């Protein structure tokens, strides 16, 4: 079976698996919304950002949402490897590229639903954007690039992990990464020893780009830095996944 034919079939399979995993799907949809409401109403009054806190925090929540949803891909890939699903697909001449692309595509579509839910609640609680059509399209492009990058990385983790439980540990890393960034507080308020990491980790330029684009303010070179990070993660993850998939399916 050709990759072009197998890809949409396996993507649809990934979406069906997501719908069957009701607990995981509800958490992926509800957790980011709950976190946003918690930060806005519990901590927002104590954090000075120069703007409404919901406006400041929304980009960080979107990145957190995308990262958590993508991390579920690691568990799905590990499940397929453990249950022998991949071996069955290989028996009908389905390549590893198509298998992993199906998981990544399903993850991207699932994450877009989560992001839509976060945006809807943000507008309900007071978020307003100054972006024009170009800004909205650029925001969507950056978020999709980040989702694909994290999904590709998650697929690699799923191949590396020997059990779905081990793959699930990746969730902690993905949830932690946005915190030491500009997601929830300005970087200049952090201790000097943490500020360097917060300024130069991959999540920060994505958050700063999305924040600036949504507000309609200048973003400088941040979007290009963000895209460079996403592109590097995608290429490295795909390259290593191809090698590891071939080794594990010999």
- The CA–CA distances, whole Å, from 192 to 197, 208, 215 equal 9, 19, 28
Burial class (CB in 10 A: 0-12, 13-18, 19+), 67: buried
* pLDDT at res. 167: 79
* pLDDT at res. 209: 94
Q: Which residues of the chain have pLDDT under 70?
A: 1-7, 18-19, 21-25, 85-96, 171, 248-250
Q: Tell me the average pLDDT of the chain.
A: 83
Burial letters for 126-156: b for 16+ Cβ neighbours within 10 Å, e otherwise?
A: ebebebeeebeebbeebbbbbbbbbbbbbbb
SS3 call for 52? coil
Helix axis angle for 3-20 and 53-83, nearest 10°, is: 110
- The CA–CA distances, whole Å, from 157 to 126, 205, 233 equal 38, 24, 13
Q: Is residue 77 a contact partner of residue 160, using CB atoms and an 8 Å limit?
A: no
State pTM to two decimals.
0.87
**HSE (CB half, 13 Å, CA atoms) of 238?**
12
- Residue for token digits 């976060």? 118
| Angle formed at CA 217 by CA 212 and CA 223, multiple of 5 degrees | 45
CA distance 176 to 184: 12
Residues 6+ apart with CB under 8 A from 4: none
pLDDT tens sequence across 171-193: 677 778 888 988 888 898 889 88
* pLDDT at res. 114: 86
* pLDDT at res. 124: 92
CA distance 44 to 52: 8
Q: Is residue 58 a contact partner of residue 214, using CB atoms and an 8 Å limit?
A: yes
CA distance 47 to 56: 10
Helix axis angle for 133-160 and 203-215, nearest 10°, is: 160
pLDDT tens sequence across 46-80: 787 778 888 899 999 988 888 877 777 888 888 87
Please report, to the nearest 10 degrees, the dihedral formed by the alpha carbons of residues 162, 168, 170, 171 taken in order.
170
* pLDDT at res. 93: 62
């Amino acid at each position: 079976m050709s990759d072009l034919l197998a890809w949409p079939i396996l993507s649809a399979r990934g979406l069906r698996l997501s719908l069957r995993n009701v607990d995981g799907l509800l958490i992926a949809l509800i957790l980011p919304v709950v976190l946003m409401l918690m930060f806005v109403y519990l901590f927002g009054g104590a954090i000075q950002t120069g703007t409404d806190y919901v406006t400041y925090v929304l980009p960080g929540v979107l990145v957190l949402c995308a990262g958590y949803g993508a991390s579920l891909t690691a568990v799905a890939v590990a499940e397929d490897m453990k249950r022998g699903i991949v071996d069955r697909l290989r028996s009908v001449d389905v390549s590893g590229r198509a298998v992993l692309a199906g998981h990544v595509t399903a993850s991207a579509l699932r994450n877009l639903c989560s992001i839509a839910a976060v945006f809807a609640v943000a507008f309900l609680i007071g978020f307003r954007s100054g972006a024009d059509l170009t800004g909205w399209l650029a925001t969507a492009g950056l978020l999709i690039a980040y989702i694909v990058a994290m999904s590709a990385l998650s697929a690699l983790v799923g191949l590396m992990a020997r059990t779905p439980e081990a793959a699930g540990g990746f969730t902690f890393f993905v949830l932690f990464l946005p915190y030491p960034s500009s997601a929830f507080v300005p970087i200049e308020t952090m201790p000097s020893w943490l500020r360097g990491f917060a300024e130069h980790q991959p999540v920060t330029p994505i958050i700063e780009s999305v924040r600036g684009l949504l507000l309609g303010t200048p973003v400088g070179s941040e979007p290009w830095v963000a895209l460079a990070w996403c592109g590097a993660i995608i290429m490295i993850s795909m390259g290593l996944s191809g090698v590891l998939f071939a080794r594990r399916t010999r």
